[in-house]
Amino acid sequence: MANRVSIRIHNQTYRILAEEDEGYIQKCAAILDKEMKAAMEGTLLSVSEGAVLAGLNVADKFQKERAVSDNLRAQLKEALDENARLARELTELKRLTKKAAKEAKESKENN
* Domain spans, the chain: 3-110
Confidence tier at 107 by pLDDT (50, 70, 90):
confident
Distance CA 38, CA 51 (A): 11
pLDDT at 109: 84
Element of type H or E holding 45: none
What is the per-residue pLDDT across 1-48, written as a single tens digit (0 to 9) for each?
A: 788 999 999 999 999 999 999 999 999 999 999 999 999 999 899 999
Distance CA 25, CA 95 (A): 56
